[in-house]
Amino acid sequence: MEYRSLGRTGMQVSPLCLGAMMFGAWGEKDHDTSIGIIHHALDAGINFIDTADVYSQGESETIVGKALTGGRRDDVVLATKFHAPMDVAMGQQGGDPNRRGNSRRWIVQEVENSLRRLQTDRIDLYQVHRPERDTDVEETLSALTDLQRQGKIVAFGSSTFPAHEIVEAQWVSQRRVLGRFVTEQPPYSLLTRGVERDLLPVAERYGMGVLPWSPLGGGWLTGRYRKGADLPVSHRQQSMSTRGRFDMSLPDNQAKLEAVEALAVLAEKSGMSLIHLALAFTLAHPAVTSPIIGPRTREHLDSQLGAADITLGSDVLDAIDEIVPPGVTIARSDEGYVPPALADPFLRRRRTA
Protein backbone atom coordinates (compact mmCIF):
# COMPACT_ATOMS: atom_id res chain seq x y z
CA MET A 1 0.00 0.00 0.00
CA GLU A 2 1.22 3.50 -0.81
CA TYR A 3 1.37 5.53 2.39
CA ARG A 4 0.91 9.27 2.80
CA SER A 5 2.49 11.86 5.08
CA LEU A 6 0.28 12.86 8.00
CA GLY A 7 0.69 16.59 7.60
CA ARG A 8 4.24 17.51 8.56
CA THR A 9 4.47 15.14 11.51
CA GLY A 10 6.75 12.65 9.75
CA MET A 11 4.25 9.86 10.43
CA GLN A 12 3.19 7.83 7.40
CA VAL A 13 -0.40 6.61 7.19
CA SER A 14 -2.47 4.51 4.83
CA PRO A 15 -4.73 6.36 2.35
CA LEU A 16 -7.76 4.97 4.18
CA CYS A 17 -8.19 5.39 7.94
CA LEU A 18 -10.24 2.84 9.87
CA GLY A 19 -12.88 4.66 11.90
CA ALA A 20 -14.01 2.80 15.03
CA MET A 21 -17.30 4.59 15.74
CA MET A 22 -19.38 1.52 14.86
CA PHE A 23 -17.55 -0.82 17.25
CA GLY A 24 -19.51 -1.15 20.48
CA ALA A 25 -23.05 -0.30 21.53
CA TRP A 26 -23.55 2.13 18.64
CA GLY A 27 -22.97 -0.60 16.06
CA GLU A 28 -21.37 -4.06 16.36
CA LYS A 29 -21.89 -5.06 19.96
CA ASP A 30 -19.78 -8.23 19.91
CA HIS A 31 -16.21 -7.36 20.84
CA ASP A 32 -14.62 -10.38 19.18
CA THR A 33 -16.36 -9.60 15.89
CA SER A 34 -15.20 -5.98 16.05
CA ILE A 35 -11.65 -7.05 16.85
CA GLY A 36 -11.74 -9.40 13.87
CA ILE A 37 -12.71 -6.49 11.59
CA ILE A 38 -9.85 -4.39 12.96
CA HIS A 39 -7.35 -7.21 12.39
CA HIS A 40 -8.69 -7.72 8.85
CA ALA A 41 -8.10 -4.01 8.13
CA LEU A 42 -4.55 -4.18 9.48
CA ASP A 43 -3.84 -7.30 7.41
CA ALA A 44 -5.08 -5.41 4.33
CA GLY A 45 -2.47 -2.67 4.89
CA ILE A 46 -4.39 -0.07 6.89
CA ASN A 47 -2.14 1.30 9.63
CA PHE A 48 -4.28 4.23 10.81
CA ILE A 49 -7.16 3.88 13.32
CA ASP A 50 -9.37 6.72 14.54
CA THR A 51 -11.75 6.51 17.47
CA ALA A 52 -13.10 8.85 20.19
CA ASP A 53 -13.85 8.69 23.88
CA VAL A 54 -17.56 9.34 23.27
CA TYR A 55 -18.07 6.48 20.81
CA SER A 56 -20.30 4.10 22.80
CA GLN A 57 -19.15 6.02 25.90
CA GLY A 58 -15.61 4.63 25.84
CA GLU A 59 -16.45 1.13 24.60
CA SER A 60 -14.98 1.77 21.15
CA GLU A 61 -11.64 2.75 22.68
CA THR A 62 -11.75 -0.39 24.83
CA ILE A 63 -12.30 -2.59 21.77
CA VAL A 64 -9.48 -0.91 19.84
CA GLY A 65 -7.20 -1.38 22.85
CA LYS A 66 -8.01 -5.08 22.96
CA ALA A 67 -7.40 -5.42 19.21
CA LEU A 68 -3.91 -3.91 19.46
CA THR A 69 -2.63 -6.14 22.25
CA GLY A 70 -0.21 -8.92 21.41
CA GLY A 71 2.36 -6.75 19.67
CA ARG A 72 0.20 -4.88 17.15
CA ARG A 73 0.22 -1.47 18.86
CA ASP A 74 3.47 -0.27 17.28
CA ASP A 75 2.16 -1.14 13.80
CA VAL A 76 -0.60 1.48 14.08
CA VAL A 77 -0.90 5.25 14.08
CA LEU A 78 -3.56 5.55 16.78
CA ALA A 79 -5.89 8.55 16.95
CA THR A 80 -8.68 9.42 19.35
CA LYS A 81 -10.69 12.49 20.31
CA PHE A 82 -12.11 14.33 23.34
CA HIS A 83 -14.76 17.01 23.90
CA ALA A 84 -18.21 15.39 24.17
CA PRO A 85 -19.91 14.64 27.52
CA MET A 86 -18.81 11.35 29.04
CA ASP A 87 -21.35 11.06 31.87
CA VAL A 88 -24.59 11.24 29.85
CA ALA A 89 -25.66 9.34 26.75
CA MET A 90 -25.44 11.01 23.34
CA GLY A 91 -28.31 13.45 22.83
CA GLN A 92 -29.28 13.64 26.51
CA GLN A 93 -29.15 16.76 28.64
CA GLY A 94 -27.60 17.16 32.08
CA GLY A 95 -24.48 15.69 33.56
CA ASP A 96 -21.40 17.30 35.06
CA PRO A 97 -20.43 20.35 32.96
CA ASN A 98 -16.78 19.74 33.82
CA ARG A 99 -16.72 16.21 32.39
CA ARG A 100 -16.68 17.49 28.83
CA GLY A 101 -15.29 20.27 26.69
CA ASN A 102 -11.89 21.66 25.80
CA SER A 103 -10.63 22.95 29.15
CA ARG A 104 -7.27 21.99 30.63
CA ARG A 105 -9.10 20.53 33.61
CA TRP A 106 -10.96 18.04 31.44
CA ILE A 107 -8.19 17.30 28.95
CA VAL A 108 -5.69 16.19 31.59
CA GLN A 109 -8.31 13.90 33.15
CA GLU A 110 -9.71 12.43 29.96
CA VAL A 111 -6.39 11.67 28.29
CA GLU A 112 -5.64 9.31 31.19
CA ASN A 113 -9.01 7.61 30.72
CA SER A 114 -8.38 7.15 26.99
CA LEU A 115 -4.86 5.82 27.60
CA ARG A 116 -6.27 3.27 30.04
CA ARG A 117 -9.07 2.14 27.71
CA LEU A 118 -6.68 1.93 24.74
CA GLN A 119 -4.10 0.01 26.84
CA THR A 120 -1.27 2.18 25.58
CA ASP A 121 1.29 4.63 26.96
CA ARG A 122 0.80 7.17 24.19
CA ILE A 123 -1.77 8.47 21.71
CA ASP A 124 -0.29 9.27 18.31
CA LEU A 125 -2.93 11.86 17.39
CA TYR A 126 -5.16 13.46 20.05
CA GLN A 127 -7.94 15.55 18.55
CA VAL A 128 -10.39 18.19 19.77
CA HIS A 129 -13.71 16.76 18.62
CA ARG A 130 -15.50 20.12 18.25
CA PRO A 131 -14.82 23.81 18.94
CA GLU A 132 -16.04 25.31 22.20
CA ARG A 133 -16.99 28.96 22.50
CA ASP A 134 -16.48 29.22 26.27
CA THR A 135 -12.89 27.93 26.29
CA ASP A 136 -10.02 30.04 24.98
CA VAL A 137 -8.14 28.11 22.33
CA GLU A 138 -4.89 29.06 24.11
CA GLU A 139 -6.09 27.08 27.13
CA THR A 140 -6.64 24.03 24.96
CA LEU A 141 -3.39 24.34 23.03
CA SER A 142 -1.39 24.88 26.22
CA ALA A 143 -2.78 21.72 27.82
CA LEU A 144 -2.17 19.68 24.67
CA THR A 145 1.39 21.02 24.39
CA ASP A 146 2.11 19.93 27.96
CA LEU A 147 0.78 16.43 27.22
CA GLN A 148 2.96 16.31 24.13
CA ARG A 149 6.05 17.29 26.12
CA GLN A 150 5.19 14.62 28.70
CA GLY A 151 5.10 12.00 25.94
CA LYS A 152 1.47 11.08 26.51
CA ILE A 153 0.50 12.29 23.03
CA VAL A 154 2.67 12.53 19.92
CA ALA A 155 0.69 15.13 17.96
CA PHE A 156 -2.67 16.86 18.18
CA GLY A 157 -5.34 18.10 15.82
CA SER A 158 -8.88 19.41 15.48
CA SER A 159 -12.17 18.10 14.14
CA THR A 160 -14.99 20.02 12.45
CA PHE A 161 -13.44 23.42 13.14
CA PRO A 162 -14.44 26.36 10.91
CA ALA A 163 -11.61 27.74 8.79
CA HIS A 164 -11.36 30.99 10.77
CA GLU A 165 -10.88 29.04 14.02
CA ILE A 166 -8.14 26.98 12.39
CA VAL A 167 -6.38 30.21 11.45
CA GLU A 168 -6.82 31.63 14.97
CA ALA A 169 -5.40 28.46 16.51
CA GLN A 170 -2.37 28.57 14.22
CA TRP A 171 -1.80 32.22 15.11
CA VAL A 172 -2.08 31.54 18.85
CA SER A 173 0.35 28.62 18.58
CA GLN A 174 2.95 30.81 16.93
CA ARG A 175 2.44 33.84 19.17
CA ARG A 176 2.43 31.86 22.45
CA VAL A 177 5.13 29.37 21.36
CA LEU A 178 2.82 26.39 21.74
CA GLY A 179 2.34 23.19 19.77
CA ARG A 180 -0.14 23.50 16.92
CA PHE A 181 -2.96 21.58 15.33
CA VAL A 182 -1.34 19.40 12.67
CA THR A 183 -4.51 17.77 11.37
CA GLU A 184 -8.17 18.58 10.81
CA GLN A 185 -11.15 16.23 10.49
CA PRO A 186 -13.86 17.88 8.40
CA PRO A 187 -17.10 16.46 6.97
CA TYR A 188 -16.37 15.87 3.27
CA SER A 189 -18.10 13.77 0.65
CA LEU A 190 -19.74 13.96 -2.76
CA LEU A 191 -22.80 15.41 -1.00
CA THR A 192 -20.96 17.61 1.50
CA ARG A 193 -18.52 19.85 -0.35
CA GLY A 194 -18.77 23.05 1.67
CA VAL A 195 -15.25 22.65 3.08
CA GLU A 196 -13.83 23.15 -0.42
CA ARG A 197 -14.63 26.87 -0.11
CA ASP A 198 -12.14 27.71 2.63
CA LEU A 199 -11.36 24.92 5.09
CA LEU A 200 -9.42 22.68 2.71
CA PRO A 201 -7.35 25.54 1.21
CA VAL A 202 -6.56 26.80 4.73
CA ALA A 203 -5.51 23.35 5.91
CA GLU A 204 -3.35 22.92 2.84
CA ARG A 205 -1.69 26.29 3.40
CA TYR A 206 -0.73 25.33 6.95
CA GLY A 207 0.50 21.88 5.93
CA MET A 208 -2.17 20.11 7.96
CA GLY A 209 -3.21 16.54 7.37
CA VAL A 210 -6.90 16.30 6.43
CA LEU A 211 -8.94 13.29 7.53
CA PRO A 212 -12.49 13.58 6.13
CA TRP A 213 -15.21 11.99 8.22
CA SER A 214 -18.33 10.48 6.69
CA PRO A 215 -16.91 10.24 3.15
CA LEU A 216 -19.87 7.96 2.34
CA GLY A 217 -22.35 10.58 3.51
CA GLY A 218 -23.46 8.64 6.57
CA GLY A 219 -24.52 5.74 4.37
CA TRP A 220 -26.16 7.76 1.59
CA LEU A 221 -23.35 6.91 -0.84
CA THR A 222 -23.36 3.17 -0.30
CA GLY A 223 -26.07 2.54 -2.89
CA ARG A 224 -28.69 1.67 -0.27
CA TYR A 225 -30.64 4.92 -0.62
CA ARG A 226 -32.23 5.20 -4.06
CA LYS A 227 -35.28 6.91 -5.48
CA GLY A 228 -38.39 4.77 -5.40
CA ALA A 229 -36.83 2.18 -3.08
CA ASP A 230 -37.97 1.42 0.45
CA LEU A 231 -35.89 3.17 3.07
CA PRO A 232 -33.55 0.60 4.64
CA VAL A 233 -33.35 0.39 8.40
CA SER A 234 -29.84 1.09 9.67
CA HIS A 235 -28.06 1.71 12.94
CA ARG A 236 -27.37 5.30 11.87
CA GLN A 237 -30.99 5.90 10.92
CA GLN A 238 -32.17 4.79 14.35
CA SER A 239 -29.68 7.03 16.16
CA MET A 240 -31.17 10.04 17.92
CA SER A 241 -28.31 12.22 16.70
CA THR A 242 -28.84 11.43 13.00
CA ARG A 243 -32.58 10.80 12.70
CA GLY A 244 -33.30 14.02 10.78
CA ARG A 245 -30.69 13.09 8.17
CA PHE A 246 -32.93 10.23 7.00
CA ASP A 247 -36.32 11.96 7.01
CA MET A 248 -37.26 11.70 3.34
CA SER A 249 -39.98 14.33 3.68
CA LEU A 250 -37.33 17.04 4.07
CA PRO A 251 -36.46 18.98 0.90
CA ASP A 252 -32.71 18.65 1.54
CA ASN A 253 -33.01 14.88 1.65
CA GLN A 254 -35.03 14.81 -1.54
CA ALA A 255 -32.24 16.84 -3.18
CA LYS A 256 -29.71 14.33 -1.86
CA LEU A 257 -31.71 11.47 -3.35
CA GLU A 258 -31.63 13.19 -6.74
CA ALA A 259 -27.86 13.66 -6.48
CA VAL A 260 -27.29 10.07 -5.34
CA GLU A 261 -29.29 8.78 -8.30
CA ALA A 262 -27.16 10.76 -10.77
CA LEU A 263 -23.93 9.76 -9.01
CA ALA A 264 -24.93 6.08 -9.07
CA VAL A 265 -25.46 6.29 -12.83
CA LEU A 266 -22.06 7.97 -13.23
CA ALA A 267 -20.38 5.26 -11.14
CA GLU A 268 -21.93 2.53 -13.26
CA LYS A 269 -20.85 4.22 -16.49
CA SER A 270 -17.34 4.56 -15.06
CA GLY A 271 -17.14 0.86 -14.21
CA MET A 272 -17.01 1.15 -10.44
CA SER A 273 -19.26 0.98 -7.41
CA LEU A 274 -20.79 4.09 -5.93
CA ILE A 275 -18.74 3.41 -2.78
CA HIS A 276 -15.49 3.45 -4.72
CA LEU A 277 -16.52 6.58 -6.61
CA ALA A 278 -17.28 8.37 -3.34
CA LEU A 279 -14.03 7.41 -1.61
CA ALA A 280 -11.88 8.01 -4.69
CA PHE A 281 -13.44 11.47 -4.97
CA THR A 282 -12.26 12.52 -1.49
CA LEU A 283 -8.84 10.98 -2.11
CA ALA A 284 -8.49 13.05 -5.30
CA HIS A 285 -8.39 16.38 -3.45
CA PRO A 286 -4.76 17.52 -2.96
CA ALA A 287 -5.41 18.58 0.65
CA VAL A 288 -6.80 15.20 1.74
CA THR A 289 -4.62 12.66 3.54
CA SER A 290 -6.91 9.79 4.55
CA PRO A 291 -10.71 9.64 4.53
CA ILE A 292 -12.11 7.81 7.54
CA ILE A 293 -14.15 4.73 6.71
CA GLY A 294 -16.47 3.38 9.41
CA PRO A 295 -17.50 -0.19 8.65
CA ARG A 296 -19.78 -2.13 10.98
CA THR A 297 -19.16 -5.49 9.30
CA ARG A 298 -16.31 -7.20 7.48
CA GLU A 299 -18.38 -7.02 4.28
CA HIS A 300 -18.64 -3.24 4.66
CA LEU A 301 -14.88 -3.06 5.03
CA ASP A 302 -14.19 -5.26 1.99
CA SER A 303 -16.48 -3.11 -0.15
CA GLN A 304 -14.37 -0.04 0.64
CA LEU A 305 -10.78 -1.28 0.65
CA GLY A 306 -10.16 -1.12 -3.12
CA ALA A 307 -11.00 2.58 -3.38
CA ALA A 308 -7.41 3.61 -2.60
CA ASP A 309 -6.30 2.03 -5.88
CA ILE A 310 -8.68 4.09 -8.03
CA THR A 311 -7.70 7.35 -9.75
CA LEU A 312 -10.59 9.36 -11.16
CA GLY A 313 -10.05 11.01 -14.51
CA SER A 314 -10.87 14.63 -15.26
CA ASP A 315 -13.97 13.57 -17.19
CA VAL A 316 -15.41 11.83 -14.13
CA LEU A 317 -14.47 14.69 -11.79
CA ASP A 318 -16.04 17.19 -14.19
CA ALA A 319 -19.22 15.10 -14.28
CA ILE A 320 -19.32 15.08 -10.48
CA ASP A 321 -19.04 18.87 -10.46
CA GLU A 322 -22.09 19.04 -12.71
CA ILE A 323 -24.12 16.94 -10.26
CA VAL A 324 -22.95 18.59 -7.02
CA PRO A 325 -21.11 21.87 -7.72
CA PRO A 326 -17.81 22.57 -5.93
CA GLY A 327 -18.25 24.10 -2.49
CA VAL A 328 -21.89 23.02 -2.15
CA THR A 329 -23.27 21.09 0.81
CA ILE A 330 -26.76 19.92 -0.04
CA ALA A 331 -28.03 19.46 3.54
CA ARG A 332 -26.90 21.66 6.42
CA SER A 333 -27.48 18.78 8.84
CA ASP A 334 -24.45 17.06 7.29
CA GLU A 335 -22.05 19.82 8.37
CA GLY A 336 -21.66 18.31 11.84
CA TYR A 337 -21.38 21.62 13.68
CA VAL A 338 -23.70 24.57 14.23
CA PRO A 339 -21.81 27.79 15.06
CA PRO A 340 -23.00 29.37 18.34
CA ALA A 341 -24.15 32.51 16.51
CA LEU A 342 -26.64 30.41 14.55
CA ALA A 343 -27.76 28.28 17.49
CA ASP A 344 -28.29 31.14 19.99
CA PRO A 345 -30.36 34.15 18.78
CA PHE A 346 -28.90 36.26 21.61
CA LEU A 347 -25.52 36.22 19.88
CA ARG A 348 -26.78 37.80 16.67
CA ARG A 349 -29.07 40.50 18.08
CA ARG A 350 -27.87 43.88 19.30
CA ARG A 351 -28.36 44.26 23.02
CA THR A 352 -30.22 47.34 24.20
CA ALA A 353 -30.33 48.92 27.62
Read off the CATH number of the domain in which 283 is found: 3.20.20.100
- For residue range 215-236, list pLDDT tens digits in order: 999 999 998 877 766 566 655 5
Q: Is 175 a domain residue?
A: yes
Query: Contact at 8 Å (CB) between 277 and 267?
Result: yes
Question: What pTM value is reported for the model?
Answer: 0.94
pLDDT at 153: 98
Inside any domain, residue 336: no
DSSP 231: P
Beta strands in the chain (DSSP E): 4-5, 12-13, 17-19, 48-50, 77-82, 123-128, 153-159, 183-185, 209-210, 292-293
Give the tens place of pLDDT for each residue, 95-135: 899 999 999 999 999 999 999 999 999 999 999 999 999 99
Does 211 map to a domain? Answer: yes
Confidence band for 91, pLDDT divided at 50, 70 and 90: confident
Judge whether 348 lies within some domain: no
Does residue 350 sit within a domain? no
Q: Domain of 242?
A: 4-329
What is the count of structural domains for the chain?
A: 1
Q: From its phi and psi, is residue 175 left (phi > 0), alpha (psi between -120 and 50) or beta?
A: alpha
- The string of pLDDT tens digits covering residues 241-253 is 555 667 777 889 9
Residue 311 lies in a domain: yes
Q: Is residue 183 part of a domain?
A: yes
Encode pLDDT of 275-312 as tens digits.
999 999 999 999 999 999 999 999 999 999 999 999 99
Percent of the chain with pLDDT over 90: 86
For the cut 90, the answer to whether the pLDDT of residue 202 exceeds it is yes
| Mean of pLDDT values over 145-165 | 98
The answer to whether the beta carbons of residues 157 and 165 sit under 8 Å apart is no
C-alpha 77/C-alpha 96 separation (Å) is: 32
Q: Does residue 54 sit within a domain?
A: yes
Q: 89-93, 250-254, 330-334, 345-349: lowest mean pLDDT where?
A: 89-93
Predicted confidence (pLDDT) per residue in 10-59, tens digit: 999 999 999 999 999 999 999 999 999 999 999 999 999 999 999 999 99
Structural contact between residues 106 and 59, judged by C-beta atoms closer than 8 angstroms: no
pLDDT at 124: 98
pLDDT of residue 240: 44
Contacts of 235 (CB under 8 A, 6+ apart): 22, 26, 27, 296
Q: What distance in Å separates the CA atoms of residue 83 and residue 90, rounded to the nearest whole number?
A: 12
Q: What is the pLDDT of residue 225?
A: 77
- For residue 320, the model assigns a pLDDT of 98
pLDDT recorded at residue 216? 97
pLDDT at 337 over 70: yes
Contacts 24+ apart (CB under 8 A), 336-339: 336/160, 336/187, 336/213, 336/214, 337/130, 337/131, 337/160, 337/162, 339/162
Q: What is the pLDDT of residue 352?
A: 77
Cα separation, 290 vs 5, whole angstroms:
10
The set of catalytic residues is 55
